[in-house]
């Protein structure tokens, strides 16, 4: 490779785009048949940010190559490997036939005229004569790509059109020097009817066939730069295509690859310093490679260079993207105050530059941060509700991931505030539908399954929660079984150990949800070993936290129920009635059957203590279907405990002599069947 070699990075059309347009022409004319997965992999990516790892996600990528490099050889090999040898041969013939700038114009104009329709309704209208067998709507995957290419070609100037044509010729000529071309050259077919009509028209072949003929015709000297040595240019690639290629290399290195792939390294080595400044992943890539070789000084130098250089690009998206990366580092090392300030600065710069795409991406990361650290939500100038509403109201031309994440965030935030269960399920359905329509890899489906598991855990359905967990665990990093370990730690009767474990709940390694769950279990366990005063004191402190730091209604309700449980154990049933009565009212409004079942059991315990046997039996009979639909052992055993004890008390009091003793025996049998369960709501 010579020092003069370079690459061309552009936001206009590239030779790779022209090849895809030709393949779409084959598809529409009916000459070739393509599987939809092939077309998805072939289309240049639209949103490179979607390929970046999620800040707090535990996603693992599939070990498959998903990005086709912008070389004709790579494209031809891809088609042949996917049993599209005929399409590969036709593509070569068609590219050789595009011998002038006007040929590109004719191709784009023909696809836009004959293949694109405004809507599905227009597509269904009968037409006297159709030029192609298949037509595309403008909103479809292929149709939107054709429309974008048409817009790019219309707005590019004459010099950019010349540059595209020149690089298209280099793109083809470089392939012609390969052994693969020499093998199939004699087997290349003639142009099909559609492409022949498009490129040659009625007048036959084009009159000007090559740059050399232009030179023989004596055109001005300013066209001489079009005849430069083709070896000086490695490839012409679009910005989005390069971003996604670099991001894929980052993910491969993070997944255990030792070095950058040769094809990508060749592109990186030809990038100028100015090009590198526009693509932050180049610095991260080189840094990760140094890190794998245990060259830590070089890694830190590259990391410093990345932040130092990129933070100077105030007018480019790189500035706020680098701020976002810096905020993620702060968050990873639990310097949350610095992370909040950096997130805020990234949002402000993105707004100043009116960079909607990057602003959406930053807001997604901010919400992920807020979900992990809800107490810090008040430190942001933008609220979680504003983020959700903003993402949901984005224009329809934004990436589908924006709307997918908006509804996922709405689901999580609605659960945190214990709002309507109907609203939670509606948001979950919308997020799932968008994901299933646009998911192109299994890890993304695993993240969706993990999200569903969180929702059904909140709603109390253990069977659905476990089903989604089994789907998710294939492509997600294995996490510890938190519930099992927490209960094992809290099984000790030593109050000193309990206090120690409650202290460890402040560890930054725990998520907010895990920390609160551990605190609730700790309160319950303190009550079970007789430390009622300590349990109530701790419950009051946690209730104040839920109201003061930020409004965490969900955990406020759960701490209130845990406090009521301790008060009932200590004989203060009447004092806890106002507490869980208020919780019950809120739960009924929200429609949360799981929390309602816990409230019913607590109220039943109060009625039993007050010897209100008739009222208790009426309550249990009227709510049995609500409580027993949950398969949690603790809920089932508590219900049968109360039901059995109520029948025993009524029999001892002489209020239920009409029931045979076998009825109590049957209840005792049901209670005994649950005796071996580890989780109990009441002792």
Residue (of 243, 268, 232, 218) closest to 361 by Cα position: 243
Beta-bridged to residue 658, according to DSSP, are: none
Beta-bridged to residue 237, according to DSSP, are: 9
Beta-bridged to residue 116, according to DSSP, are: 136
Cα dist. 580→269, 457, 568, 623 in Å? 67, 22, 12, 17
> Are 6 and 270 within 8 A, CB to CB?
yes
Structure token digits, residue 170: 């280099």
Q: Please indicate, yes or no, whether the overall pTM of this predicted structure exceeds 0.85.
A: no
Cα dist. 621→83, 628, 656 in Å? 65, 11, 15
Distance (Å, rounded) from C-alpha 36 to C-alpha 134? 14
Tell me what pLDDT residue 429 has.
Answer: 93
Residues 6+ apart with CB under 8 A from 423: 410, 414
Distance (Å, rounded) from C-alpha 301 to C-alpha 46? 32
Residue (of 557, 524, 555) closest to 538 by Cα position: 524
**For 342-386, how does the pLDDT look when each residue is reduced to its tens digit (9 = 90+)?**
999 989 888 888 888 888 888 998 988 888 888 788 888 888 888
Percent of the chain at pLDDT exceeding 90: 2
Distance (Å, rounded) from C-alpha 111 to C-alpha 24? 8
Q: Where are the domains of the chain?
A: 11-48+62-217, 584-683
- The half-sphere exposure of 281 on its side-chain side, counting CA atoms within 13 A, is 26
Tell me what pLDDT residue 662 has.
Answer: 45
Tell me what pLDDT residue 323 has.
Answer: 81
Structure token digits, residue 397: 């031309």
Sign of CA dihedral 18, 23, 24, 26: positive
Distance (Å, rounded) from C-alpha 76 to C-alpha 185? 13
Tell me what pLDDT residue 340 has.
Answer: 92
Residues of the chain below pLDDT 70: 1-5, 44-66, 123, 126-130, 200-233, 308-318, 439-441, 475-509, 549-550, 650-683
Structure token digits, residue 31: 């000459």
Tell me what pLDDT residue 207 has.
Answer: 42
**For 207-247, how does the pLDDT look when each residue is reduced to its tens digit (9 = 90+)?**
444 444 544 544 444 444 444 455 566 788 888 888 888 88
Q: What's the burial of 367, exposed, middle or buried (CB within 10 Å: 0-12/13-18/19+)?
A: buried
Phi and psi at residue 9, to the nearest 5°: -105, 125
Residues 6+ apart with CB under 8 A from 580: 560, 561, 564, 599, 602, 603
Tell me what pLDDT residue 659 has.
Answer: 46
Structure token digits, residue 148: 């974008």
Distance (Å, rounded) from C-alpha 570 to C-alpha 285? 61
Q: Which residue has the tokens 């790509």?
A: 145
Distance (Å, rounded) from C-alpha 402 to C-alpha 413? 16
CA 361, 256, 237 angle in degrees (round to 5)?
A: 55
């Amino acid at each position: 490779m010579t020092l003069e070699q370079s690459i061309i990075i552009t936001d206009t059309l590239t030779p790779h785009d022209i090849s895809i347009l030709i393949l779409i022409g084959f598809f529409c004319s009916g000459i070739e048949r393509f599987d939809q997965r092939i077309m998805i992999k072939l289309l240049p990516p639209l949103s490179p940010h979607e390929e970046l790892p999620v800040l707090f996600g535990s996603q693992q990528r599939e070990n498959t190559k998903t990005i086709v490099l912008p070389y004709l050889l790579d494209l031809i090999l891809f088609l042949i490997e996917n049993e599209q040898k005929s399409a590969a041969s036709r593509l070569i013939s068609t590219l050789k036939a595009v011998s002038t700038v006007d040929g590109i114009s004719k191709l784009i104009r023909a696809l836009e005229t004959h293949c694109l329709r405004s809507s599905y309704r227009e597509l269904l209208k009968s037409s006297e004569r159709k030029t192609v067998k298949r037509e595309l709507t403008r909103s479809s995957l292929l149709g939107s790509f054709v429309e974008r290419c048409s817009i790019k070609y219309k707005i590019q100037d004459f010099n950019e059109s010349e540059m595209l044509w020149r690089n298209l010729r280099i793109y083809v000529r470089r392939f012609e020097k390969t052994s693969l071309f020499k093998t199939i050259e004699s087997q290349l077919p003639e142009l099909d009817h559609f492409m022949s009509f498009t490129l040659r028209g009625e007048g036959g072949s084009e009159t000007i066939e090559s740059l050399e003929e232009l030179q023989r015709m004596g055109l001005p000297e300013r066209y001489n730069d079009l005849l430069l040595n083709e070896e000086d240019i490695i490839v012409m690639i679009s910005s989005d295509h390069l971003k996604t290629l670099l991001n894929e290399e980052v993910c491969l290195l993070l997944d255990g690859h030792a070095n950058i792939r040769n094809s990508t390294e060749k592109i990186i080595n030809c990038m100028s310093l100015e090009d590198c400044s526009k693509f932050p992943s180049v610095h991260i890539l080189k840094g990760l490679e140094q890190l794998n070789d245990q060259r830590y000084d070089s890694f830190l130098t590259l990391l410093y260079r990345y932040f130092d250089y990129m933070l100077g690009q105030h007018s480019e998206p790189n500035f706020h993207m680098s701020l976002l990366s810096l905020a993620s580092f702060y968050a990873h090392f639990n310097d949350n105050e610095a992370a909040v300030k950096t997130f805020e600065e990234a949002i402000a710069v993105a707004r100043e530059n009116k960079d909607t795409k990057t602003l959406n991406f930053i807001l997604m990361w901010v919400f992920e941060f807020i979900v992990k650290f809800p107490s810090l939500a008040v430190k942001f100038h933008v609220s979680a509700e504003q983020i959700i509403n903003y993402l949901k109201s984005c224009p329809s031309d934004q990436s589908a991931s924006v709307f997918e994440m908006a509804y996922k965030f709405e689901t999580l935030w609605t659960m945190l505030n214990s709002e309507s269960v109907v609203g939670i399920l509606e948001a979950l359905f919308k997020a799932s539908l968008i994901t299933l329509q646009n998911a192109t890899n299994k890890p993304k489906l695993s993240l969706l399954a993990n999200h569903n598991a969180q929702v059904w855990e909140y709603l109390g359905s253990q069977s659905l929660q476990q089903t989604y967990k089994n789907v998710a665990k294939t492509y997600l990093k294995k996490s510890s079984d938190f519930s099992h370990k927490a209960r094992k730690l809290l099984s000790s009767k030593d109050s000193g150990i309990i206090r120690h474990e409650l202290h460890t709940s402040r560890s930054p390694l725990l998520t907010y949800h895990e920390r609160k769950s551990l605190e609730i279990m700790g309160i319950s366990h303190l009550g079970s070993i007789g430390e009622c005063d300590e349990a109530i004191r701790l419950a009051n402190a946690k209730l104040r936290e839920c109201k003061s730091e930020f409004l965490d209604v969900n955990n406020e309700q759960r701490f209130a129920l845990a406090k009521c449980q301790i008060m009932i154990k200590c004989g203060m049933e009447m004092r806890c009635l106002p507490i869980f009565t208020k919780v019950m009212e809120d739960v009924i409004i929200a429609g949360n059957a799981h929390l309602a079942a816990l409230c019913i059991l607590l109220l039943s315990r109060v009625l039993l203590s007050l010897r209100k046997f008739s009222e208790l039996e009426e309550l249990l009979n009227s709510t049995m279907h609500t409580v027993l639909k949950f398969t949690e052992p603790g809920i089932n055993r508590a219900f049968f405990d109360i039901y059995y004890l109520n029948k025993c008390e009524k029999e001892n009091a002489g209020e239920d002599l009409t029931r045979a003793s076998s009825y109590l025996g049957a209840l005792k049998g049901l209670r005994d069947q649950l005796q071996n369960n580890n989780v109990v709501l009441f002792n």
